[in-house]
Amino acid sequence: MDISAAGALVSGGASGLGEATVRRLHEAGAHVVIADLNAEKGEALAAELGDRARFIAVNVTDAESVQAAVDLASEPERGLRIAVGCAGIGWAQRVAGRQGPHPEDLFNNVLQVNLVGMFNLLRLAATSMNENEPDEGGERGVFVSTASVAAFDGQIGQIAYSASKGGIVGMTLPAARDLSSRGIRVLAIAPGLFDTPLLAALPEEAREALGAQIPFPSRLGMPEEFAHLVGAIAENPMLNGETIRLDGAIRMQPK
């Protein structure tokens, strides 16, 4: 996939891993639509990047909202070629504890945003990509979702989050097979401990302690490293149907 001049869409693109991905694709020449609930940050990022960057307010659990973003990124002259799902939330609570059973509504909410929201973006982006003219290699588009090492190494209290991210992993291969005849690739990245806004709220001592758990490099991952992998996936047509751990060889402990 030639990133230059491609249409791209990044959900959760106003901050963290999504923002870094927007910057990486834009720097490579893509026309990027930033889709996010946070209008203030999204509009500021689009204004900073200038040409080839636009913001649209999107709730990934609302199919009409996602469709509007896909339409915006699917201009006829270039088409939507690259879609990256970075929108997501977390919730920490044990299956059962002093507070009683894990609330069903909170479990459902995490799955709706992380898993159903990713499915919405996947199905609607792929439908748009399906109309693209194939490039010289027969490719029409590439979709990259954000899973997590929690899909494999879920910790205490991560039942909802791990289930949602495990679902993303489970979707990846069948989606790639579904779309293979149309030249649309589907992959997932499973990040480990990354320096995102969620961890930025922790004291520096706690952040350093988390980074020290990673075998090498013994530090928190940088969003730019996630974005670099997105770019490499887009450019390498043989990558397909796989979940790639991006974690410095960490295997999370129970807590």
The answer to whether 117 touches 110, Cβ cutoff 8 Å, is: no
**Average of per-residue pLDDT values in the chain:** 95
At residue 210, the pLDDT reads 86
Instruction: Choose, from 55, 119, 143, 161, the residue flagged as catalytic.
Output: 161
Q: Reduce the secondary structure of the chain to three states and give it as a string.
A: CCCCCCEEEEECCCCHHHHHHHHHHHHCCCEEEEEECCHHHHHHHHHHHCCCEEEEECCCCCHHHHHHHHHHHCCCCCCEEEEEECCCCCCCECCEECCEECCHHHHHHHHHHHHHHHHHHHHHHHHHHCCCCCCCCCCCEEEEEECCCHHHHCCCCEHHHHHHHHHHHHHHHHHHHHHHHHCEEEEEEEECCECCHHHHCCCHHHHHHHHHCCCCCCCCECHHHHHHHHHHHHHCCCCCCCEEEECCCCCCCCC
At residue 166, the pLDDT reads 98
At residue 202, the pLDDT reads 72
What does each C-alpha distance from 191 to 123, 194, 250 come to in angstroms?
23, 7, 10
Q: Which domains does the chain have, with CATH numbers?
A: 7-246 (3.40.50.720)
Q: Is 161 a catalytic residue?
A: yes
Structure token pair of residue 18: 């999504």
Edge-to-edge order in the sheet of strand 184-191: 53-57, 31-36, 7-11, 80-85, 141-146, 184-191, 243-246
At residue 5, the pLDDT reads 81
Structure token pair of residue 125: 């982006």
At residue 139, the pLDDT reads 97
At residue 133, the pLDDT reads 95
At residue 208, the pLDDT reads 86
The answer to whether 91 touches 140, Cβ cutoff 8 Å, is: no
Q: What is the pLDDT of residues 101-148, one digit of tens each?
A: 999 999 999 999 999 999 999 999 999 999 999 999 999 999 999 999
User: Helices 223-235 & 16-27, crossing angle to 10 degrees?
Assistant: 50
At residue 243, the pLDDT reads 98
Q: What is the pLDDT of residues 163-196, one digit of tens each?
A: 999 999 999 999 999 999 999 999 999 999 999 8
Look at residue 207 and tell me whether its pLDDT is greater than 90: no
